[in-house]
Amino acid sequence: MPGFEWIDESEAKAVQEVFEEGGVLFAHGWDNARKKYHVREFESNISKAFDVNYSRAVTSGTAALKCALKAIGVKKGSKVVTQAFNFIAVIEAIIDCGAHPIICGVDDNLDLDINDLNKIYDDNEDISAIILVHMLGIGGPIEEVVSFCKENDIKLVEDNCESIGATYKGKNLGSFGDCGVISFDHGKMITCGEGGMILTNSEKIHKYVVSYSDHGHAYQEGIPRGLDKKSMPGFNYRLTELQAAVGKAQLDKLNLILESNKRRFNALNSILEKHFRVRKLRQHQTGSYDTFIFFVKTIEERSKCVQLMKEHQIPTKNLPDAMEWHCTYFFEHALPKNEIESSKETYNKLNLSIAIGILRSIEVERYENLAYDLVRNI
């Protein structure tokens, strides 16, 4: 469920405090005019929550992806593999670095298909990086992809924008790769309107993203910003203090959000899994449970399901309603023809998938009623 459903007086109070503490909205400097550095605190709280050494806040998940790619050395002409079920931002970030996206299919669970990844590698031994996207609350094959990257000396970025709080073997997704990326846009599990974070255990990567996301500032100790050295040509992807204040308040609610999601997800699962094939969590994995996906056999069945969901006033999430933004088969404005064609199989799989959005405003009982109705009618 999106964090916006949890916004209450705690976020309002957090924002009010920024003004009471001096009203400095910028993340850096003005040391005497402020009592706190909210962006820094937000970064440090995220590092603790996700058990990583470093986090850098930026303006969006898309910006975080781009910073991460640049930090691991992706440049003009590099090849970056990602899966055909993603969000357009992943492709945009690759292209914005001047790199070439190579599209890997998904398996029957809608996760990156390791067999296809191996086939792609046979033809492209010069792959620089993989972006593994943990889509809609369920993690991809992280253990397999980590070993693949180690074996073949390929960098790994985990896009965890859609699976915040999900784990594998007790470790947070987003903390396995060279870097992980999360988003705080309005639809995400925790939100500050817009925002993103790059998580890493590497000091070198962290230093790069800190500098790149702030005009190349070298952050020399004890030197005022105006006299600071430039370590590279960078850009401005800085988060504001107001966003960070809201982000901190939202992060405090993450466990509650996860628990509420899980109750609704499990209610749907216990009824629907007996009748439909459903998207599964892998062994040793926990999800963020904010979307429940099941599969039908025909487009007619899909239409009937969507109609029933409408009648129950329970929304679909991305599948099928926003598939055009989440399947590379539709990205003809951004990808070469061969990558569109290779995405066809993924499109066919997504076409028979239905994603139920998990919302706080919809009680468990209403999800159960929908599930029984789906079972009765399909």
Ligand X SMILES: Cc1ncc(COP(=O)(O)O)c(C=O)c1O
Residues making contact with ligand X (CB under 6 A) = 60-62, 86-87, 89-90, 133, 159, 161-162, 183, 185, 196
195 within 8 A of 185, measured Cβ to Cβ: yes
145's tokens: 């992809």
Residue with smaller CB distance to ligand X, 101 or 196: 196
| Nearer Cβ to ligand X (85/295) | 85
Q: How far is the CB of 174 from ligand X (least distance, A)?
A: 12
Question: Closest CB to ligand X among 49 and 65?
Answer: 65
Least distance CB 103 / ligand X (angstroms): 15
For ligand X, which is the closer residue by CB, 162 or 178? 162
Shortest Cβ distance from residue 161 to ligand X (Å)? 4
| Angle ∠(344,346,349) on CA atoms, nearest 5 | 115
Find out whether 354 and 302 touch, Cβ atoms under 8 Å.
yes
Q: In whole angstroms, how close is the CB of 10 to ligand X at the nearest point?
A: 22
Least distance in Å: CB of 164 to ligand X?
A: 11
Compute the distance between CA of residue 114 and CA of residue 107 in angstroms, rounded to an integer: 8
Tell me the residue nearest to ligand X as measured from the CB.
Answer: 61
DSSP 8-class letter at 244: H
HSE-up of residue 360 (Cα within 13 Å, Cβ side): 15
Helix or strand holding residue 364 (H, E) = helix 364-377
Question: What are the residues whose beta carbons fall under 8 Å from the beta carbon of 31, sequence distance 6 or more?
Answer: none
Minimum CB separation of residue 20 from ligand X in Å reads 29
Q: C-beta of 348: minimal distance to ligand X in Å?
A: 21
Radius of gyration of the chain (CA): 21
Tell the burial category of 170 from Cβ atoms under 10 Å away from its Cβ (0-12, 13-18, 19+). Answer: exposed
> Looking at beta carbons only, is 90 or 267 nearer to ligand X?
90
CA separation, residue 219 to residues 55, 232, 331 (Å): 16, 12, 39
Nearer to ligand X, 61 or 276 (CB): 61
Residue keyed to tokens 């992809």: 145
Copy the structure tokens of residue 296: 């039908």
- Looking at beta carbons only, is 11 or 267 nearer to ligand X? 11
